[in-house]
Amino acid sequence: MIINDKSALPQTPMPIVIIGAGGIIKNAHLPAYKKAGFKVKGIFDLNFESSKALGAQFEIANVYKTLEELIAHGALLNAVFDVAVPADKIIDILVQLPGNSTVLIQKPMGENIEQANEILEVCRELNLTAAVNFQLRYTPFVNAARSIIDSGAIGEVFDIEVKVTTVTPWHLWDFLATNSRVEILYHSIHYIDMIRSFFGDPQRLLAKTVKHPTTTVSSTRSSIIFDYGDVKAARINTNHDHNFGSKHQHSYIKWEGTKGAIYAKMGLNLNYPDSVPDVFEYFIADEAGKGEWKTVELEGSWFPDAFIGPMANIMRFKEGADVLPTSVEDAIKTMQLVESAYQSSNRS
Ligand SMILES: NC(=O)c1ccc[n+]([C@@H]2O[C@H](COP(=O)([O-])OP(=O)(O)OC[C@H]3O[C@@H](n4cnc5c(N)ncnc54)[C@H](O)[C@@H]3O)[C@@H](O)[C@H]2O)c1
C-alpha cells in the first residue's frame, strides 16, 4: 500500500515575515520552514530580546524594532504575514495590514466567537488571503491516515475517537493562567478541527469541560461528543492532569471503518514540547474479516512537520490551487463548534 504522509508543497515558496517570537515559533514554525525550504525574511515581537534571540538562532536577516517596519518590508516583499500571538491580540495586528495581503493566523481564531467573527470581518474588508494554522490536519500521521482512508482500504469510516490522558505544562503560557477558556479553546480545538476535516460539521455537539481541584487553570479535562446521527460518531476525551507516571497515560486518534481501522499515537502530548515517538498502525480485514495490525514508520511528527501544511497551502492557493483548506471562512466553523462546546458545558 502506498501511504503518503507528506503535505503538498508550492512550486515557488513565497517569503515569510513573522509576528510573535514565542514558544510555538521557536519549537514549530521556524524548524518546519527550515525543513520545507521556506525563507523567513524577518521577525518582530513586542519583546525585542525574544525576536533577537530567534533571529540569531535561525539566521533571520531582519529583526524589526516595530510592527510598522515589519509590515512595510513584508508588503514590499509580497510576503506571507505569519501571526503567532495570544488570540486576543490578533485583531489589532490584522487591521494594520495593507489590503490584499496574505496572512496565516495561529489558532485559535480569537478567544471566543465574537472575536472570531470580528477577525473574519476584517479579513473580508481588507480582502486578505487569510487562513488559520489548524495544523493537526497536516501531521504526518493524519496525512497518512487520510491517504489510507481515501484509497478505500478501510471501507466507510464511521467512527473517530481521540483520547488524551497526560500532564500538560500549562505554565508555559503566561496568558492562559487567567483565561476563562483553556482546554477546549487551546487544546481540543485541534481535534475538533481534525474531526471536521474528515466528517464535516455535526448536527450538534455535547460537551463538558472541568478543572483540577488544585489548579488555577480554568479547565483541564474535557469530554466532547459529535452527533452525526445513528451511525457515524466521533468523540474526544482529554485529561491533562494524569500526573501518575507514564504507565496509564494515553494520546491517540483512532479511525474505524467497515473494513479496517487506523491508530495513531500522538507522542507530542506525552512530553510537551519535546515529544516521545509517535506510533502509526493500521488493520485491514480480509474477506473472512481477519487481519493483523501493521506498523508503519512515518517521517516526521506534529512538531515541526505539521506546520509545513498550512503555510504550504496558503502559498499553493496564491499559485492557483482551487481551495484554501483552513481559510478563515472554514476556520469560523471550527470556532462555532468550540462555542457550541462551551455552551453545552455551561448548560445546567
Ligand atoms: N500546536 C499549535 O498550534 C500551538 C501550540 C502552542 C501555541 N499555539 C498558539 O500560538 C500562539 C502563541 O503561543 P506561544 O506558545 O508562542 O506563546 P508565548 O507566550 O510563548 O509567546 C507569545 C509571544 O507573542 C508576543 N506578543 C504578544 N503580543 C504581541 C503583539 N501584539 N505583537 C507582537 N508580539 C506579541 C509575546 O511577547 C510573546 O513573545 C497562541 O495563540 C497559542 O494558542 C499554537
Q: Is the pLDDT of residue 132 over 90?
A: yes
Sheet holding 62-63, edge to edge: 62-63, 40-44, 16-19, 80-83, 102-106, 129-133
pLDDT tens, residue by residue, 240-256: 999 999 999 999 999 99
Question: What integer pLDDT is reported at residue 148 of this predicted model?
Answer: 98
* Residue 92 burial class via C-beta count within 10 angstroms: exposed 0-12, middle 13-18, buried 19 and up: exposed
**Which of ligand 1's atoms lies nearest the C-alpha of 26?**
16
Question: What integer pLDDT is reported at residue 63 of this predicted model?
Answer: 98
Chain centroid to Cα 36, Å, comes to: 18
How much distance in Å is there from the Cα of 182 to the middle of ligand 1?
14
User: What are 272's three cell numbers?
Assistant: 510537551
* Closest residue CA from atom 39 of ligand 1: 22
- What percentage of the chain has pLDDT greater than the value 90? 97
Question: What integer pLDDT is reported at residue 44 of this predicted model?
Answer: 98
- Cα 135 from Cα 139, distance rounded (Å): 7
- Cα 173 from Cα 216, distance rounded (Å): 13
How much distance in Å is there from the Cα of 84 to the middle of ligand 1?
5
Among candidates 113, 133, 137, 182, which has minimal Cα distance to 336? 113
Sheet holding 157-165, edge to edge: 204-210, 221-227, 233-239, 157-165, 250-257, 260-265, 279-284, 293-295
Q: Is the pLDDT of residue 273 over 90?
A: yes
The stretch 300-325 carries a mean pLDDT of: 98
**Which of ligand 1's atoms lies nearest the C-alpha of 86?**
41
In this predicted model, which residue has the larger pLDDT, 347 or 159? 159
Q: Are 12 and 30 in contact (CB under 8 A)?
A: no
Phi then psi for 224, rounded to 5 degrees?
-130, 125
pLDDT tens, residue by residue, 26-55: 999 999 999 999 999 999 999 999 999 999
pLDDT tens, residue by residue, 225-236: 999 999 999 999
Question: What integer pLDDT is reported at residue 216 of this predicted model?
Answer: 83
Scored b (16 or more CB within 10 A) or e, 233-252 reads: bbbbbbbbbbeeeeeebbbb
How much distance in Å is there from the Cα of 342 to the middle of ligand 1?
23
Kindly report the pTM of this predicted structure: 0.97
Query: In this structure, how many other beta carbons lie within 10 angstroms of the beta carbon of residue 126?
Result: 17
**Count of residues for the chain?**
348
- Cα 139 from Cα 89, distance rounded (Å): 26
The DSSP H or E segment spanning 57 is helix 48-57
Cα radius of gyration rounded to whole Å, the chain: 20
Scored b (16 or more CB within 10 A) or e, 40-79 reads: bbbbbbeeeebbeebbeebebebbbeebeebbebbeebeb
* Closest residue CA from atom 28 of ligand 1: 85
Q: How confident is the model at residue 81 (pLDDT cuts 50, 70, 90)?
A: very high
Q: Which of 26, 46, 68 to mutate to test the pocket of ligand 1 (most atoms within 8 A of CB)?
A: 46
Q: Is the pLDDT of residue 77 over 80?
A: yes
Question: What integer pLDDT is reported at residue 1 of this predicted model?
Answer: 86
pLDDT tens, residue by residue, 7-27: 999 999 999 999 999 999 999
**Which of ligand 1's atoms lies nearest the C-alpha of 51?**
39
**Mean pLDDT computed over every residue of the chain:** 97
Q: Which of 173, 182, 185 to mutate to test the pocket of ligand 1 (most atoms within 8 A of CB)?
A: 173
**How many CA atoms does the CB half-sphere of 95 hold within 13 Å?**
6
- Cα 128 from Cα 132, distance rounded (Å): 12
Query: In this structure, how many other beta carbons lie within 10 angstroms of the beta carbon of residue 330?
Result: 17
Helix axes 328-346, 189-199, angle to 10 degrees: 120
| Ligand 1 pocket by Cβ (under 6 Å) | 19-25, 45-47, 50, 84-87, 89, 93, 106-107, 133, 135, 173-174, 186
Could you give the domains of the chain? 16-134+307-322 (3.40.50.720), 137-305+338-346 (3.30.360.10)
pLDDT tens, residue by residue, 331-343: 999 999 999 999 9
**Which of ligand 1's atoms lies nearest the C-alpha of 44?**
33
Q: How confident is the model at residue 177 (pLDDT cuts 50, 70, 90)?
A: confident
The stretch 97-109 carries a mean pLDDT of: 98
* Closest residue CA from atom 22 of ligand 1: 22
